[in-house]
Structure 1
Amino acid sequence: MQRLREFFDRSYRRLVELLERCGLPRSMPPLLVLGVLAAITSVVLAVTLSAHRSAADSGPVAIAPAAAGSPGTAVVAADRAQVLSMTMVTRNRWAAGWSDCTSGPNCKYAAVIDRDGARATAPEWPVPYATLKSGDEAIAVAPPREGTLTGDSTMMFRLTYDGPVLIRLRYRLSTSTFHTGEILTDRIVPGRIVVVNPEESTVRMLDTRGTRSPACDDTGRCWMLTGIGRTDITWTDDGGKTWGTQGLDRHNQLGKLAVSPNGRTVVMTSVLVSDNGETVAGMRISTDRGATWKTVHNPPPSLNAPPLAFDDGTALMLGGRPNDRPRLYRVRDGVAKLDRGYPGDLAVLAGDEHLMYGFEVPKRRTTEVVLSEDEGATWTKFAPR
């Protein structure tokens, strides 16, 4: 009450003088004066909120390909073009990132998206595209040049039934929570987890302890790795409102995480960088959603490729000694053994038990992707462009 009286004493006289200059008599009743003040305040607030809402709810900005860069077809068709990244949702829905570092002083990058047989190429970009899974489709995101969400644009390229769409993602303030349907990735800003919302065409930083290898299972639980000089695993079941954390490796912080679709099988590798190359220093597996862990015996030397975790409690890992052809290893009952393998030069292995894929790194350049729909028994090869 005291504060209200002080505000009235300080503001009432000024308001009366202002209304008098506008032609209203000084003898106006106090309640009428306050009513005028309330009306003015309401109008100001309404205009402010309306402007804010219009800015926040405005639709995505569609960019003409020419405005974003030269056509990416020149990058993909270059004599020395190489595949940098690959994301497959199904055999006929995928996105591939390409690079060309021989046609000029600087490297150029583009991306190709296939949607049920229709293909489109994203415009040229000065940094590599990140290919991501969004529901039942694959998309390509062009990160900002500066490696941060405070400056240049972040673009999203997707292929709809109406044709290709290039959208400038709007930056949102960083938050500690996220929602179902949003994408968590560590491939847009180095060393940070970023949240991409394809439906709202927005992107923002995620303020959390996790810094790498985000993975979400079909139950809604999301996992990631964290730690400085060590590796801890952290997870959330409510979109980041609460987190659980467990230490896994007290000596190494480099590593990869894999989670099976049902979330029961979780695999973590720790990588020790030595003079002879990168070797797996430790590998641990859980078959009860992280409640208990086993150390995997005889883990293979690794190319630092993330493993695959399956619902049946097993895992598949790509490994090999430096300068040797990589092979596939099956992890079962806490032991890694050589699997049927793949007689090629796989650099990465991704997917699940229904569709495994990876791109090859032969001696010259990477132009082809191989896939398997029978857990590695047979493989099919194709060029994603």
Structure 2
Amino acid sequence: MELLERCGLPRSMPPFLVVGVLAAVTSIIVAVLHLSTPEAVADKPSTVLPAVAGPPGTAVVNSVRAQVLSMTMATRNRWAAGWSDCTTGPDCEYAAVLDRDGARATAPSWPVPYVTLRTGTEAFAVAPPVEGTLDGSASMMFRLTYDGPQLTKLRYRVPTTTFSPGEVLSDQIVPGRIVVVNPQESTVRILQGRGTRSPVCDGTGRCWMLSGVARTDIVWTDDGGNTWGSQSLDANNQLGRLAVSPDGHTLVSTTVVVTDTGQQVTKMAISTDRGEHWTTVQNPPPSLSTSPVAFDDGTALMIGGPAGARPRIYRISEGAAKLNGGYPGDLADLSGDQQLLYGPEVPKRRTTGVVLSTDNGATWTKFVPR
């Protein structure tokens, strides 16, 4: 009754009404306590996480020493770019910029580099855990939708051996492991099983990966990891790169060894029949910076050249690699397909712009993704 009086209710109130009032008050208290507990909000994605997110990333992107670290283009007007700022000494800061049909947004500053990824016609960015393991601190996902920018804390899930259509595979979020990102559910988990690096999914739904300890095997699955096929590529070296064309018929495998001057190419092979037969590529560039880009027509482009020299674009055609003209500058990376090729440019040892080509590398356009 004292509680009723403190609420402003008379002692003469009918008993059944007293019980109802007490029940309502109790329900409100329980609801407030439930919403204030971490368990109640752990599974709800949030667009504002001030306790986890860093300061605005615009200071990183606009720094005088800012550089483009990664670039992912889903379409000409939908892309994600990862930036770095190392003017503060060994403690670098990182951010990401997203563009969606002309609207741009910048992700918060983060202590480790953002990973830029693609799902369908959307590009997005993931801020990995600082410790390099999913058992550590939080991971964040930054997306740009028609409703505006969305910053979401990714929920960790138990490792699995399978994945579903629409989920994104990456070997850049946790070193040495393939991670499955589910953008729709805002979850992330380790993929256990055959592959350990270079995951590539083609347009048919088949996903390819490289595997092996002290050797390189190519493995593939058509059913999300339930069953696998495999083939040996190199019995003596596990440092390999893989490129797959959108239709899955052209594959390029590269074996490299790490030297003081970079990654030296020891073997390069190409297949134009979905991996059934392989041909050794003649006259490959002595060293490579990134993986080649494979095309549906049985050819491929790549950046390479002698160690320490200015990188050049090479084209693989009819089983041989030859210098390819059409680009006058320096590229730090090359990605895409026959409809859209792109890569960060390195003028004067600092990467600030990105170039793209929509005519298979014949002509190029430059822009700054900030």
What TM-score do you get using the length of structure 2 for normalisation? 0.87
Q: Out of 84, 104, 112, which is 1:127 matched to?
A: 112
Residue in structure 2 matched with residue 25 of structure 1 by the alignment: none
Partners of 1:295 and 1:124 in 2: CA distance: 45
- Partners of 2:244 and 2:183 in 1: CA distance: 23
Query: What residue number does 1:107 align with?
Result: 92
Deviation at 1:59, TM superposition (A): 3.5
2:329 paired with 1:344: yes
Other-structure match for 1:373 = 358
Task: Write the letter of the residue equivalent to 1:101.
Answer: C
Q: 1:312-365: per-residue Cα shift (whole Å, max 9, x none)?
A: 111111111122111111111211111125221101100000000000223331
Q: C-alpha separation between the residues in 2 aligned to 1:341 and 1:302?
A: 21
Q: How many residues align?
A: 332
How far off its partner does 1:303 sit? 2.7
Say whether residues 1:172 and 2:157 are aligned partners. yes
- One-letter code aligned to 1:278: Q
Q: 106-115 vs 266-275, which deviates more?
A: 266-275
Q: Which residue of 2 aligns with 1:9?
A: none
After superposition, the Cα gap between the structure-2 partners of 1:177 and 1:383, relative to the gap in structure 1 and judged at 3 Å, is same
User: CA offset at residue 193 of structure 1?
Assistant: 0.2
- TM-score (norm: length of structure 1): 0.83
Show the counterpart of 1:287: 272
Per-residue Cα deviation, 1:47-89 (whole angstroms, up to 9, x for no partner)? xxxxxxx979944233345751100000000010110000011
Pick from 330, 336, 342: which aligns with 2:315? Answer: 330
- Deviation digits for residues 261-317 of structure 1, max 9, x if unmatched? 110111111112234432211111111111111111111122331101111111111
Question: How many Å separate the matches in 1 of 2:265 and 2:288?
Answer: 9
Unaligned runs of 5+ in 1: 1-53
Give the 3 Å change call, closer, same or farther, for CA 242–120 of structure 1 in structure 2.
Answer: same
Percent sequence identity over aligned pairs: 70
Shift in alpha-carbon separation, 1:288–1:86, aligned structure 2, 3 A: same
- The CA RMSD over aligned residues, in Å, is 1.7
Confirm whether residue 310 of structure 1 aligns to residue 298 of structure 2: no
State whether structure 2 residue 194 is matched by structure 1 residue 229. no
How far apart, in 2, do the equivalents of 1:383 and 1:315 lie?
26
* 2:200 aligns with one of 182, 192, 215: 215
CA contact (8 A) 2:52 2:138 kept: no
Decide whether aligned partners of structure 1 residues 312 and 100 sit closer, same or farther in structure 2, where only a CA change above 3 A counts.
Answer: same
Deviations 1:141-171 (A, max 9, x none): 0000010011211100000111100000110
Question: Of residues 252, 258, 262 in structure 2, which corresponds to 1:267?
Answer: 252
One-letter amino acid matched to 2:239: L
Q: How does 1:174-253 map to 2 (within 5 A)?
A: 174-253=159-238
Shift of 1:105: 4.8
2-structure distance, mates of 1:55, 1:290? 49
Whichever of the two has the greater Rg, that structure is 1
- Please tell me whether the aligned partners of residues 218 and 231 of structure 2 are also in contact (alpha carbons under 8 angstroms): yes
SS at match of 1:84: strand
Name the amino acid aligned to 1:367.
T
Three-state SS of the structure 2 residue aligned to 1:298 is: coil
* Counterpart-to-counterpart distance in 2, 1:329 and 1:100: 31
